[in-house]
Amino acid sequence: MPFATLREVLAEAEKGKYAVGAFNTNNMEIVQAIIEAAQEERAPVILQASQGALKYAGIRYITAIVRAAVESSTIPVVLHLDHGTSFEQTMLCIRHGFTSVMFDGSKYSLEDNIAATARVVEVARAVGVSVEGELGKIGGTEDDISVDERDALFTDPAQARRFVEESGVDALAVAIGTAHGPYKGEPKLDFDRLEAIMKVAGTPLVLHGASGVPAGSIRRAISIGISKINIDTDLRQAFIRGVQHVVHNQPHEYDPRKLLGPAKEEMKAVIKEKMRLFGCSGQA
């Protein structure tokens, strides 16, 4: 099946009231785990590579591995750049066959974020590639933030409307209390804010930092309108769990395949569980 765009899979998700899982990849085993899980679950899926992933593996390797995995699949697969921060990088990804790019201009002022994101949208739209933007700052879990800071960092609904209208993005990443990496306590999501953003945004909304967010909060976020959910940390932890299990039980094992195979299976189990939670299982 040819690659799908983010716009296409999120339009279906909005109609069906489910969310599509977006899983970060850095190597062959992660790509295989994501595609095999999606195929077995019959779920549309978003494979995403960060700038760090592209630096680690190389854009040619990532795209070649993803193409090889997708060749025999029969589900919609989106190849997406996660947290792109330069115009050049987004263009390079488009040139290499990505069907969706995120331009993360969250470190800029509203005006500069709109201008930089709109520049990416103009080119991407011309060649049928989707664009995700970000408004508000999605922190790391190490950031301790006060109530005042929440207001400054979280996505402002009125600004969200303006951002979407003026930038033309196909999806918007919102800051409502999630963070990247493992959580220290239980994350508290600002659902009232999410509802207010949903009412005015006019585009599918994206939840970043979803690893470690309790199932109940994920379900509630989807019921309000989140339609793309990003997972990286839970996969990293599953990978390491798989490796550690073998190292612990068979300390003399010297065949890398005997470590990476179980790591892949651990990730597959996590991905399938997420797909069922997100409601995208059985939708492809």
Report the amino acid identity of residue 112.
D
Q: Give the pair of three-digit tokens for residue 270.
A: 């996590």
Residue pair 73/36 in contact by the 8 Å Cβ criterion: no
Nearest residue (CB) to ligand G3H, 26 versus 283: 26
Q: Is 170 a catalytic site residue?
A: no
Strand partners, 135: 174
Residue 62 to residue 84: CA distance in whole angstroms: 15
Residue 210, contacted partner among ligand 13P, ligand G3H, Zn ion, none, CB below 5-8 A by kind? ligand 13P
- Minimum Å distance from CB 104 to ligand G3H? 9
Residue 53, contacted partner among ligand G3H, Zn ion, ligand 13P, none, CB below 5-8 A by kind? ligand G3H
Report the amino acid identity of residue 267.
M
Residue 231, contacted partner among ligand 13P, Zn ion, ligand G3H, none, CB below 5-8 A by kind? ligand 13P
At 150, phi and psi to the nearest 5? -55, -50
Residue pair 222/278 in contact by the 8 Å Cβ criterion: yes
- Count of residues engaged in binding Zn ion, rule: CB under 5 A: 1
Nearest residue (CB) to ligand G3H, 33 versus 284: 33
Q: Of the candidates 80, 208, 264, 268, which one interacts with Zn ion according to CB under 5 A?
A: 208
Nearest residue (CB) to ligand G3H, 84 versus 157: 84
Assess 268 for contact with ligand G3H (CB under 6 A): no
**Binding-site ranges for ligand 13P (CB under 6 A):** 24, 82-83, 180-181, 208-211, 230-234
Residue 226 to residue 130: CA distance in whole angstroms: 17
Residue pair 33/270 in contact by the 8 Å Cβ criterion: no
- Minimum Å distance from CB 247 to ligand G3H? 23
Q: Please report which residue ranges of the chain form alpha helices under DSSP H.
A: 6-16, 28-41, 51-57, 59-71, 87-95, 110-126, 147-153, 157-167, 191-201, 215-224, 233-249, 256-278
Residue 94, contacted partner among ligand 13P, Zn ion, ligand G3H, none, CB below 5-8 A by kind? none
Active site residues: 82
Contacts with ligand G3H by CB under 6 A lie at: 24, 50, 52-53, 82-83, 180, 232
Residues forming contacts to Zn ion in the complex (CB under 5 A) are 208
